[in-house]
Each structure stands twice: as C-alpha cells, then as structure tokens.
Amino acid sequence: MKLGIVIYSNDAELVWNAFRFANLAVEQKDEVKIFFLAKGVEYETLSNEKYTITELAHKFIGSGGKILACGTCLKLRHKDGSQLCPISTMKDLYQLIKESDKIVTF
C-alpha cells in the first residue's frame, strides 16, 4: 500500500505517535511518505527524552520512508530545509495525495 501522512501539528506527543505509526507501516512493507505542513515543519525542535522524534525520523528515513516539508511554511518560520525536513511544494503534496492509496493526517 502507498500511505501518505500529513502532519500539521507541533505537539510533540502527536508527532512522536505519527512517526511510530509511519515506522510500523514501513515495517509492514508499505511505501510511506510524510508531508509536514504549517506548524508541523517545526518538528525537529520537538524531540526530547520522552518523545524521541529525531531518532524515529532517522529510523524512518533509514528504512526507506520519505519526508517532505512545505517550503513556504519553513520560510514563514525563517527556517531552512534539512535532511529531516527537506523543502517541498504544494505540488509535491498534491502528488503525494494523488499517488497514495490512503492519507492519514495528524
């Protein structure tokens, strides 16, 4: 299955659970892409001892998952893209939705 996950929250527990779910889906041999939108692009700053978001993000990418992030949303926050938060566009979000069998939002 092709699974698209859209994360638009900067709540640490929610993002942590989204990555837990994404990693499980990759383990089940699904093709998974995550798109960060709005406050979601702040996710790299949310990782802490309780919610190991960065660790889960590295595991996700290392297992073949793909991360995309809204470039406009990053620019509004004066942030640059990174390996864990690569700059993408609304066209990329559209493609993710068009190509996915299922979309989950967090």
Containing structural domain, residue 51: 2-105
Map tokens 């996700």 to a residue.
Answer: 60
CATH for 13: 3.40.1260.10
pLDDT tens per residue across all 106 residues of the chain: 999 999 999 999 999 999 999 999 999 999 999 999 999 999 999 999 999 999 999 999 999 999 999 999 999 999 999 989 999 999 999 999 999 999 999 9
CA 25 vs CA 44, 52, 62: distances in Å? 21, 18, 14
The structural domain count of the chain equals 1
